[in-house]
Amino acid sequence: MTDVRITHIGGPTALIEFEGWCLLTDPTFDPPGRRYGFGWGSASTKVAGPAVAVAELPPVDAVLLTHDHHADNLDDAGRALLPEADNVITTVAGGRRLGGSAVGLSPWSIYSLEKPGSPALKITATPCRHGPPLSRPITGEVAGFALEWQGQEESALWISGDTVLSSDVREVATRLDVGTVLLHLGAVQFPITGRLRYTMAGPDGVELCELLRAQTVIPVHYEGWSHFTQGRSAIEEAFAVAAPEVRAALLWLELGIPKTVEV
């Protein structure tokens, strides 16, 4: 087991620190108030700013970027800090768009990082589907990331990424032993597409967690933007009727406050 310090900065953005490693997920640091277009007539307004400023971040070893083409996962201020990170890990399409030293991973491919004094870090890209069936040509490529390191091979730390609950995502539970998950929820919807959802709702998260059997489930990316249709209360209602072990695994992080989690 390893003590991992996790700071939920807001939206999908989290700082993950352990064994000398410092990782940042989906950097979003713009101030609130701006409306961003996501293409095909969809848009969202950022309604909350980051709980930690860019200037307060420690040196970042790697940015784990689930996708680069939606501003709620990479906004202007987040994009500006990418060159300061030693590594940027993202999707294949994102790697092409970002260029430079960005590394694009296809689903189930693996990338390893090493640094003196820290255990080698194995990063496995996991599949996502950011919308209903056949929506990938419109919504684009998205990835999740599973982190494993020496002594931690049987209890991965998984960032789900923006996704609905699909057969590919369920496969994570059969291919990986997940101890802790940063679970992207929020049940994203847009007026132009009606009842179609683009990320998991609370009941979807419960179903996935019943398959994963993770010991810690940390909701992220359910607040801070106008396109979320489910916040904390709706997620809590869904988990309240889950199996006892799933209810017990749910852990809310106070924005901006580091929390040490045993992974």
Amino acid at 133: P
pLDDT band for 137, please (50, 70, 90 cuts).
Answer: confident
Domain containing 167 — which CATH number? 3.60.15.10
Report the distance separating Cα 225 and Cα 205, nearest Å.
Answer: 19
CA angle 188, 214, 109 (to 5 degrees): 75
Alpha-carbon distance values, 113 to 21, 48, 59, 62, 96 (Å): 10, 33, 16, 9, 20
198 in a domain, yes or no?
A: yes
| Percent over 70 (pLDDT), the chain | 100
Higher per-residue confidence, 5 vs 2 = 5
263 in a domain, yes or no?
A: no
* Count of domains forming the chain: 1
Range of the domain at 162: 3-255
Distant-in-sequence, close-in-space partners of 85: CB < 8 Å, separation ≥ 6: 24, 60, 61, 62, 63
pLDDT tens digits, 62-96: 999 999 999 999 999 999 999 999 999 999 999 99
User: Is the sign of the CA dihedral 233, 209, 182, 70 positive or negative?
Assistant: negative
260 in a domain, yes or no?
A: no
Alpha-carbon distance values, 7 to 57, 113, 155 (Å): 11, 22, 20
